[in-house]
Chain A
Amino acid sequence: DTAVSQTPKYLVTQMGNDKSIKCEQNLGHDTMYWYKQDSKKFLKIMFSYNNKELIINETVPNRFSPKSPDKAHLNLHINSLELGDSAVYFCASSLPDRDSPLHFGNGTRLTVT
């Protein structure tokens, strides 16, 4: 019954590899997000996406790309992984309304060696 689920929970990989993190929500929400939480625990928005609009945080490298096969899924693809990409990545979803709260998954801990 998990509302927002992410897989895998842990991901260890080497520099230069390409990897994906999957996210699914069963809340019927229209908008999904990806956040990055670094070692200092700051949560930074990477993308927000619905079927009409992709909003990108301009600080995100273009090695990161969201892919949405349907409204319930927003996967995160990362090319040419770097050491600095090590972090916890959180997926979230919400209704598109101005005051709709975000519902988060439990995160994917990515470690790049």
Chain B
Amino acid sequence: DAKTTQPTSMDCAEGRAANLPCNHSTISGNEYVYWYRQIHSQGPQYIIHGLKNNETNEMASLIITEDRKSSTLILPHATLRDTAVYYCIVRVWGSARQLTFGSGTQLTVLP
């Protein structure tokens, strides 16, 4: 059911920027791109979302390509506590199945 494609895993050095890509080539004009992460044994945590424009908050930045077919989540200065599975999902309002998460990217931040 997932409409997104992400790499299975990525490594990042502590203190460096982590760039996590996501492809959503079939995205429609009214669908938002959301990013969540799940640290081991915890519930998913909301990070950021966007529709067309790039977004930034205290946790991360979201870069969405002009054609909206892909996006990149940027953690500017990764720490060991950022090690988690990162999920990119495309949210269609009114359809429960479209809220299903994909397999995500396991980000490991290395000391």
Q: How far is the CA of A40 from the CA of B104 in the complex (A)?
A: 11
What bracket does the count of chain A residues touching chain B fall in? 20 to 34
Knowing A45-B100, A55-B94, A55-B96, say if A98 contacts B32 (CB, 8 Å). yes
Type the 1/0 row for B78-111, where 1 means its CB is closer than 8 Å to any CB of A. Answer: 0000000101000101111101111110000000
Within 8 A of B (CB), among A65-110: 90, 92, 98-99, 101-107
A-B CB contacts (within 8 Å), total count? 62
Contact assessment for B97 and A57 in the assembled complex, using a CB-CB cutoff below 8 Å: yes
Residue in B closest to A57 when the chains form the complex, CB atoms: B96
Q: How far is the CA of A58 from the CA of B93 in the complex (A)?
A: 17
Size of the chain B interface, CB-CB below 8 angstroms: 28
Knowing A41-B103, A42-B103, A43-B101, say if A56 contacts B46 (CB, 8 Å). no
Contact assessment for B100 and A44 in the assembled complex, using a CB-CB cutoff below 8 Å: yes
Which residues of chain A are near B93, meaning CB under 8 Å?
Answer: 98
Which residues of chain B are near A57, meaning CB under 8 Å?
Answer: 96-97, 100
Closest CB in chain A relative to B92 CB, distance in Å: 10
28 interchain pairs, CB-CB under 8 A: A41-B104, A42-B100, A42-B101, A43-B87, A43-B100, A44-B100, A44-B101, A45-B96, A45-B97, A45-B99, A45-B100, A47-B96, A48-B96, A57-B96, A58-B97, A90-B43, A90-B44, A99-B32, A99-B91, A102-B46, A102-B99, A103-B46, A104-B43, A104-B44, A105-B43, A106-B41, A106-B43, A107-B42
